[in-house]
Chains A and B, each alone.
Chain A
Amino acid sequence: MTIQSAEEEIDRTLGKRIISFARSPLFQGDAQVLHPPNPYRRMLVPDALAEGDFDRPPAAGEWAAHRSLSAHRLLGTFYEADTVLLPEQGLAPLHADFDLFYGSELRELRESSVSALERFAFACLDDAVDVSGAATPEVLDAYFQHVVAEAENGPSPALAAIAAARDRESAADLYLVQLALDGLTEASAMSRNLAGAYGPEQSALFKIFIDEFGYGVYDAKHTTIFAKMLRSRAMATHVHAYWNFYLAGPLATNNYYYYLSRDHAKFFRYAGAVTYAEAVFAPAFVEMVKVFRDIFGDNVDLHYCDEHAHIDEHHGRITREEVLLALAARHGPRVVPELMRGVAEARLIGGWFEDDTAAQIRWSDDLPRHRDLAGTVRLGPEPRRVALTPDSPFGTRSHDDSMVLEVERGEAELITTPTGPPERLARGDAVLIPAGRLYGVRSTAAACDYLLHAVTPDG
């Protein structure tokens, strides 16, 4: 191989292409913690992205790896670039960003990367889920009803973490933000499976879609009533104000439905996944209403949750009877394993949403103890130094392994939730950041240096 062809090979690697994409001016972030009302700009933390080994997909047990977060931020951006995003205030001041976001340069990078990035991000599902044995429509329904009953009877780890938090309001807001990822663009992935010709099952899916879209009435559209819920909490409602706070699990969950609906070879898997999701939404929203009412009383607009608690009873029935079982009956046993696989994957990835959100709530709610823990662990040599000023772009990230963050110079704020008070760190202060937890640091002094110490395994 010549030097030139070797360089061309490197340029063709996934890592190189996605770093080229992330280095677009749209994805550099700014000094603000929340993103402005500009759907084209979102912080992809290109420097942290460059750390990831994109030749090594996260395995089933590595879902919390930082490269998983990076990959799902990118994939979410790729997928949303295939939808129409326009700012509520009008495009006039943002037309240059619109041109760049949808322009040929980024589109070519997306199109040349998306399949490899999907394989990278979702390869863990291939290892984690397997469907075997003779599958019939009856087996499919028995399995489906079993896992749905299990979900209905089991507690939501995220809602349990909110209820147990010291700062329940911030914990509840963090949960809302995870829902906002889908809630502000709801049913966009589903829309990809509406086209074509596949009989009565297509019409059944369309019935669900028109509910999501409020029957053409903007005020009834689910995204509109989701924004109403955010507004009642005095939270921003634009796409994607809280981008920096989307966790890897919720990003992966949202991306999963785009992933299945982008490739129609995975249509039956999509049908299984969406049927599972619709079946477990209704009881989940009933539980969410209880928890949120307990915290906020009448000071929160839960119309969105009430709507889902009601309409998803119907969607659960329609998807099971008129999509899942109808597809199995019409198309025979060969499609049943894919339908079952979709159910199983949706269940697994939904569990990641819950566990990741619960873990972030518990950590961010317990930072004083993690300050104490920082002094008890054994640290590796050669910490990494990060220098910030108040003008440094704000971004969030996680680490594959636990780290201790120590302020060496100046002062900073450790930010771990979208609405909770930041944790003030003075010179010499340190805090333990468990593996997989999301955080950002903002300098509150003219200059701030902090150290990132790896925690040794026996530490």
Chain B
Amino acid sequence: MARVIVMDLSRHNTVLVGHDRYFVLHTEGRALLVLDRCPHRGGPLSLARRTPDGRRLSCPWHGTKVGVAAVKRTSLPMVRSGDEAVVVLPDGDDEGGEPISVIRKEVLANLPPDAPCAAESAGEAAGAVGAGEVARR
């Protein structure tokens, strides 16, 4: 059963689907909802920093360099209209019974390579849980 959620991108940047986490990656002027997991050992790519050329993310766990192009390929289907994003989630193992939540958290992967972390985190309540609208079909 397909599951659809609606996110307000001005308020939320992360979706939790069961044990999987996705975050909004801004790249080339687009917002993509990508898997927050390093292919090496599962580190949080949302907390990765961009390499100086901006083309890769440096995972905070082991420093693995993951190409942005590869990260983009993990993105969930999403239709953005203004700040509203309608996301179609992958089918769940238990017929969509996994808990889903939409939150705002600290995302360093969208900062320029040389920007200090505080630039983004100062304006955010890291880890704060927001109430996203969740719809199921």
Residues on A lying within 8 angstroms of B by beta carbon are: 60, 128-136, 138-139, 141-143, 145-147, 149, 340-341, 343-344, 347-348
Sample of 18 further A-B pairs with CB below 8 A, known A130-B30, A344-B81: A128-B82, A129-B79, A129-B80, A129-B81, A131-B79, A132-B77, A132-B78, A132-B80, A133-B78, A133-B88, A136-B77, A141-B2, A142-B4, A143-B4, A146-B4, A147-B86, A347-B81, A348-B82
Measured between beta carbons, the chain B residues less than 8 angstroms from A343 are: 79
User: What is the interface size of chain B, counting residues whose CB is below 8 A from a CB of the partner?
Assistant: 20
Measured between beta carbons, the chain B residues less than 8 angstroms from A340 are: 77, 79
Chain A interface helix/strand/loop/mixed:
helix
- In the complex the two chains form, is B77's CB within 8 Å of A134's CB? yes
Taking the complex as formed, is B102 at the interface, i.e. its CB lies under 8 A from any CB of chain A? no
Number of A-B contacts (CB under 8 A): 67
Measured between beta carbons, the chain A residues less than 8 angstroms from B137 are: 142, 145-146, 149
Chain B residues 64 to 86 lying within 8 A of chain A, measured CB to CB, are 73, 75-82, 86
Q: How far is the CB of A327 from chain B (nearest CB, A)?
A: 17
- A130 to B78: give the CA distance in the assembly, Å: 8
Knowing A130-B31, A132-B30, A149-B137, the reply to whether A143 touches B80 (Cβ < 8 A) is no
- In the complex the two chains form, is A143's CB within 8 Å of B81's CB? no
Q: How far is the CB of A351 from chain B (nearest CB, A)?
A: 9
- A149's nearest neighbour on chain B, judged by CB, is B137
- B5's nearest neighbour on chain A, judged by CB, is A146
Residues on B lying within 8 angstroms of A by beta carbon are: 2-4, 30-33, 73, 75-82, 86, 88, 135, 137
Pairs A–B under 8 Å by Cβ, sample size 10:
A129-B79, A130-B79, A131-B79, A132-B31, A132-B80, A136-B77, A138-B2, A139-B88, A143-B77, A343-B79
- In the complex the two chains form, is B80's CB within 8 Å of A130's CB? yes
Interface centre among A134, A135, A341 (most CB of B within 10 A): A134
- B34's nearest neighbour on chain A, judged by CB, is A133
- A131 to B85: give the CA distance in the assembly, Å: 9
List the 8 closest pairs (A to B, CB-CB), nearest first: A142-B2, A133-B77, A146-B4, A133-B75, A139-B77, A130-B80, A139-B88, A142-B88
- A340 to B31: give the CA distance in the assembly, Å: 16
Q: How far is the CB of A253 from chain B (nearest CB, A)?
A: 15
